[in-house]
A and B are shown apart, each in its own frame.
Chain A
Amino acid sequence: MKKLKVGWFSFTGCEGSIIIFIELMNENFFKWRDVIDFKYFRTFKSKNDMEDLDVAFVEGAISNYKEEEMLKQIRKNCKKLVAIGNCACTGNPSNLRNFFDSDTKQEIQFILDRFGHREKVSALSEIVKVDDSIPGCPMIEDLFLQKLKQYLKDFGVSDA
């Protein structure tokens, strides 16, 4: 049976939307297990594969160069890239440091240098093309369910 190939990626943020996703499983797990192939889902498994995804759900903002590179890789490997939660959609509030005064910026600069941080924290759309957004802090549950249903239909997995 055909399944929707899905990845869930967490960058800089509180990872609250993945908690909502896992709470949504309370009602939906058995249904989803039949129609979704969780190809990349570190929270649940150690063997993950990000190639050839139908949909990549990406939460968190982009703070360092490693994340930026990974996000570009995800973009190359997925058909639809969905920004999940406010940090991915707008950068806020993971981007607090973008608004620091020069003294505070100087205070944290050595950490930014040590861990390869970018000059500023960015929303996903500042770096790659984003096909869809589910804002909210954490993400709006009903909107996520609605979009997921749409993708299952669009990719010919279910007509529900």
Chain B
Amino acid sequence: MFRRIFSRVYERETADIRINHQLQRDLAARIRKERPARSVAWFKLLTAAGTIVLLAFLVRPSVPAPSIPLSFGPKVDDWSLGTIEQEPETVFSSSAGLSSGLLGSAPTNLSVRSMADMSANSADLGFAVGGAKDANNFRLDIENGYLPLPTDLTYEGLFYDYYFETGEQTPCEELFCPSYSTAVTEDPISSETEYYLSVGLNSGLTKDAFKRKPLNLVVVLDISGSMRSPFDSYHYDGGGNPVYTEDTERASAQKLDVAKDAIAALFGHLRPEDRLGFVVFDDVAQVAKPLNFVGETDMASIERHVRELTPRGGTNMSAGMEAATELFEELGATNEYEQRIIFLTDAMPNQGDTSSGGLFEMVEENAQDHVYTTFIGVGVDFQTELVERITKTRGANYFAVHSSEAFETQLDDGFELMVSPLVFDLSLKLEAEGWKIEQVYGSPEADKATGELIFVSTLFPSRTQDGETRGGVVLLKLRRTSESSRLTLFAQYENRDGKMFENEQTVDWPKTDGEAYDHDGIRKAVLLARYANLMKNWMIDERRSAAGVMPIEPLVNEDTGIVIPPDDPSRLFDQWEQTSIPLQVSESYENLFDTFTDYFAAEVDALGDDDLQRELDVLKHLN
């Protein structure tokens, strides 16, 4: 009876729903465009039709195969983790075969809800580089009374914590449009004049046009003994035993618990058409779950199994990486899916191949097969030095979990973006008599720059807000050796399908006697680059002092200004188990911080960006 009655109610109420005729027209236009006679040569048509539609296809370029997963089979709990056998010879054992599920290909993800929005070119996405995606570990260490590693603070990670005006003059109508801006400014310590050029990372992508491809994802979880430590303590301070604060009630959660929360948050962003695999590792690695469709997986049971994992044993990151790679090898090549390994770890390997070179090669080889890697660092002792090295590769990025809640928010804001690299192998050549590139800030591949050339391996889409792009600039410090004022910049990059694009622009340096910034975006970038330079110098010097290497004589002084910190001065061996060094600020740095804080505070006022207050708080904490 209820069924019959409700059917009547349903009929009447659905009939009362008013149709959105604009949407009906938009979709009708879309359907007409897809007529078979025209779609045969759709690439040519796209080229002729121009920018916006092209961009939508660049995001999701491939025509979906016919067997779209219109429905999924029964949900299965395919967790297959048993006891990990401690066999030193067996580095990696796969306990489960690969299942490709019932469905062979992916549905289209190109939404055309609002063609009007697309054609209006509401460019609400820009780009940011790969590599570090935050400066959380730097702040987390200081907050907990530890001296951070110099690699805890990267320029690109710091930039990604802020939004930047990019100096875009005309709306971008292509996948990627660099824009160039200039600044002439005095070093706040030495008063020497400095020249900067910013590269704005603009895009014609809109949020409406962008939807990520379906994802083949393998989560690799470190369940080694060091993951047993409290989140805010250094595991090896206790010689490998957990270190708890005196106030046990205050002791924070285990790193593994935080990692589990992060995984649960990740699961919330998966779609039925995504595939998920799961690998755990300690001394050895084991496939805990084969790569199967999320729509056919009992995700509640999988999460329960993850929650039941307990820490044990050593840390064999290379075995974890190999096991994940093998899952992808069994799946075979695909252009229909994004393919990514998400590695959750404190990154202190002590077994298997612990060399940064060896791990880098694994990440690099996977990238060549279009399997990219994300590291999610857990714990205050997360070894950024290792991860920073091994993520200087195509499609790689890394995050540091500051808190479970913050990470969940971060994923809500950007999961789709963090798994969707769109621009690769960007090179930028500077052709200008009398100008040289002295330093690159905001790119993980800054060390590959020469006087004329910079290189960025990957650009990920990035949010914009009030016309500013999150992490949307790379900053070049230039050396001027003549009065020539014209610079020619030649950019070249590939899209995800390997198609090359070029862009050439000329920049005329403004004639000015004093300080001049083209806009607040470059001003903010210069401020943050100087801040990071000073902090890195401080961390390096204090670490050297703590190690008894040398008394502190800062390279930063009134003669030299805020110099670029030296490369990796302390690390000689690939050993990653680190103990903490208490937070310390020598007298010479106290004075420098004092001067720099005044400059920073004045710039915060000038820029009107309240977010910068957090760096000011760090400076005040160190003063």
B partners with A: no
